[in-house]
Every structure is written in C-alpha cells, then in structure tokens.
Amino acid sequence: MIPLDEAKARINAAIQPLAAVQVPIAEARGLVLAQEVLAQEDIPPFDNTAMDGFAVRSADLASATADSPVELVVAATIAAGSVAPRALMAGEAMRIMTGAPIPDGADAIIMVELTEPVGEHAVRCNSAVPVKNHIRPAGDDLKAGATVFVPGEVLGAHHLGVLASVGLESVLVTARPRVGVFSTGDELVVGPEPLQPGQIRDSNRPTLLALVAEAGFQPVDLGSLPDDDSVIAAALRNAVGRCDALITSGGVSMGDFDYVKAVLMRLGELSWMQVAIKPAKPLAFGVLLGTPIFGLPGNPVSSAVSFELFARPAIRQMMARPDTERVHQWAVADDPLLRSPDGKIHFVRVVVTQQSDGWHIRSAGGQGSHQLAALAAANGLAIVADGDGVQAGARVQVMMLQ
C-alpha cells in the first residue's frame, strides 16, 4: 500500500491544465478567468437617483420643514431609461424614478416619502436635503479603465453580473473539462426491469455523473460496459478523443474479471495503486493520449470516496481552480468512531451539524463500502487516522461533502 498523499502526488504530477477558450458569460460559471478584465466605461454610466422622488436644487429647500414646507413646480417626469427634456430651473422639481439620470441643474433628490402632491403640477417638500442627497455618481461602482478582475479569478454568479455590467458577452477562461463516465460489470442492469439472479442495478454511473456536474465539470455519459477486455479497450480509445478526463468504475481489484486495470496497463501509462485508505483501496490511474483516466473501484461507496479524494481535485486542477480540495474542518465526535489498526486512514461517513459550540459529527450509518444509503445521509467524511479510532468527545478532522 502507498500513502494517500503519495497517490495524490503521483496523479497531480500527470495533470496538465486545459487550454484557454472564449465562452459566453452565461456558460462561464465556475470557470477560471484567463484574461484581465478592464471597465470600458464608468459603472454606473451617469449620475442617477437612488430613490423614487423629486430632483431639486438643494438651495430651494434650505428652509423646508414639515411645519413650513416649500412648494415647487413639477416640470417633468423622468423614468429610468429616459432623460429630462431640459434643465431644471430655480423653483422647480422633476419627478424622478430610481435609476433615472439626474437632470442638469439639479443637485439633490428628495425622496417621495418627504413630499405631498399639490394637484398635478406642484409638490410640497417637507424637508431640506443636502447637496448630492441620494445621487449615485457616475463611476461610483467602477471607473472607466479600472481593472475589474485579473487572471485566476473563479467566476461565480456575481462575477458574471459584473462582466455583463461592463458590456462583455464572452470571456477567455480555462476550459471546462468534459468528463466521461462509464461503469463496468457483467452484473449491472440499467433501467427498471426485474433483476435476474446475480444482477444488480448500476448506481455508480448516476452518482459519478452527478458528482462530476456538481464539481463544475461537463459530464459525458458513456454507459455501462460488460466485463470484456476488447469492449473496454475500444470504449477507452474512443472516449479519450471526446473527453478531457475519464472516470470508470469497477474492474480495478484483484478479481479474475477486472479488465479495466488490465486494459489500462496495456494501453496507457498507468499506475495501479493500493492506497492506504478505507474505503477505496484499489485505484487505477492512467494517461491515454494525454487524457487522464481514473479507474475507480466498483463498490458504490468506494467509487464515490475515490472520486472525492483523487478525481475531483485533479480535474479541478485541469480547470485551473485554486480551490481543488473540499473544505476541511475540525468537529467533535458525539459518538465514538472506533476502529482497529490496519495501516490505513479511514474515511467515515458522518452527519456534520453546526451547534452553538462549534461543529459536531455522528455516524451516518452502516460503513460498509456497499452501503450507499449511509453515504446519502452523510454530508462529511471524518478522517480517522490509523489506530483505535476516536472516543466520544474527541476532535476529528472532517472533509465536508457540501
């Protein structure tokens, strides 16, 4: 067995970042910027009002109070998206809506709540307002020419809003990896038909495809394959042309029909590893024509944990994400997490909750590598070092799954 860190290091050493591509901003969420973004213009582009109300000259309202209001003539109405027909004169107000440009001649806004209409064409103002009141100046968010983002920025929803606000329709980013997923196993059945003796349903493929999508990669469903050397070899050869990375499940252990391992050893530059972890000890990792292939074990919990430990961080590295690893945090074990020494780090499926005194964990249920139900109940993997385990009340590090 090799240590977990060494297995990860071997994989990461074989990973190359993908090329930069131009993508529409609607498709850029989660991708990493490969260009500098400058503001082409002031944002907001013009002085505008932050309130519905009236554009006024502050000096006109200097004496205004609720007891002694000042009446102004309403000269125009300015909606967002329109401009005033002319400049504001002394003794006048213009009705103005949030986001509309400030008319020439006005230097303040009085919000509608501090006014009362006097018929159609006049307004009573119940308060004085300082110069610049409720005016958002041009460039208050971003000045023309300012650097908005630098290469390496991970584009989240709010970044896409900023890109749109500076008028960009597409951006240069490190490409989103297309990640092909296929299962292997003669016992696998797809669809609702009754199981024949010896058959089980393919649960790994939907799980892995969803994990791929959640990680920010583009999933490519490559189906379920039999335990057949030539079928698996053909599928791998075909898939490396279409995908940036491949994930398979099953067929990498010590069994007679574990063909994924055999095919990868023949076709690719491959490391087959026994990693000192539980679950997910066996792992086949190879590179075929430049495409990394993660041969994950077949047991459902093993394939999911192996994805988390090896495939997710490595493929995030391909897309230049700085946050390749899941968040880890310390938590108090409310129940003991006991184990026996076996030379491996154990990853225990746990329910993590935040309480008034910090994070706590309890077991999510059955910990067998075939027991997918407890993985569904879990939102973290407690990292239990080799030894006798963790006593109730002790602190343990948890890899968060959400």
Positions touching ligand AMP (CB under 6 A) are: 183, 185, 187-188, 200, 202-205, 249-251, 253, 255, 297-300
| 5-13, 106-114, 165-173, 179-187 -> range binding Mg ion (CB under 5 A) | 179-187
CB of residue 252 vs Mg ion: minimum separation in angstroms? 9
Identify which of residues 119 and 192 has a Cβ nearer to ligand AMP in the complex.
192
| 8-16, 95-103, 105-113, 298-306 -> range binding Mg ion (CB under 5 A) | 298-306
Q: Cβ(87)–Cβ(103) under 8 Å? A: yes
CB of residue 189 vs Mg ion: minimum separation in angstroms? 14
Q: Cβ(35)–Cβ(170) under 8 Å? A: no
Q: What type of residue sits at position 103? A: P
Q: Which residues pair with 247 in a beta bridge?
A: 181, 294
* CA atoms of 61 and 63, how far apart (whole Å): 6
Identify which of residues 142 and 284 has a Cβ nearer to Mg ion in the complex.
284
CB of residue 348 vs ligand AMP: minimum separation in angstroms? 20
Q: Which of 53, 139, 185, 292 binds Mg ion (CB under 5 A)?
A: 185
| 88-96, 138-146, 203-211, 292-300 -> range binding Mg ion (CB under 5 A) | 292-300
Cis-peptide into 226, omega within 30 deg: no
Q: Which residues pair with 269 in a beta bridge?
A: 287
Q: Cβ(397)–Cβ(350) under 8 Å? A: no
**Quick one: what does residue 200 bind among Mg ion, ligand AMP, none, with the CB cut-off 5 to 8 Å set by partner type?**
ligand AMP
Cis-peptide into 279, omega within 30 deg: yes
Token match 């967002």: residue? 80
Phi-psi region of 119 (alpha: psi -120 to 50; beta: other; left: phi over 0): left
Question: Helix 229-242 crosses helix 259-267 at what angle (to 10 degrees)?
Answer: 60
CB of residue 310 vs Mg ion: minimum separation in angstroms? 19
**Quick one: what does residue 300 bind among Mg ion, ligand AMP, none, with the CB cut-off 5 to 8 Å set by partner type?**
ligand AMP
Identify which of residues 54 and 347 has a Cβ nearer to ligand AMP in the complex.
347
Identify which of residues 89 and 200 has a Cβ nearer to ligand AMP in the complex.
200
Q: Which residues pair with 56 in a beta bridge?
A: 108
Identify which of residues 174 and 248 has a Cβ nearer to ligand AMP in the complex.
248
Token match 């806004």: residue? 109
Identify which of residues 205 and 316 has a Cβ nearer to ligand AMP in the complex.
205
**Quick one: what does residue 386 bind among Mg ion, ligand AMP, none, with the CB cut-off 5 to 8 Å set by partner type?**
none
Other Cβ atoms less than 10 A from the Cβ of 7: the count is: 21
300 binds Mg ion (CB under 5 A): no
**Quick one: what does residue 183 bind among ligand AMP, Mg ion, none, with the CB cut-off 5 to 8 Å set by partner type?**
ligand AMP
Report which residue's Cβ sits closest to ligand AMP. 298
116 DSSP assignment: E
Identify which of residues 292 and 295 has a Cβ nearer to ligand AMP in the complex.
295
* CA atoms of 132 and 320, how far apart (whole Å): 45
The tokens describing 251, both together, are: 């067929």
CB of residue 140 vs ligand AMP: minimum separation in angstroms? 55
297 binds Mg ion (CB under 5 A): no
* Angle subtended at Cα 332 by Cα 328 and Cα 336, rounded to the nearest 5 degrees: 115
250 binds Mg ion (CB under 5 A): yes
Please report the DSSP string for 53-74 in residue order.
Answer: EEEE-GGGGTT--SSS-EEEEE
Token match 């690719």: residue? 268
The tokens describing 250, both together, are: 């099953």
CB of residue 302 vs ligand AMP: minimum separation in angstroms? 8
Contacts to Mg ion by CB under 5 A: 185, 250-251, 298
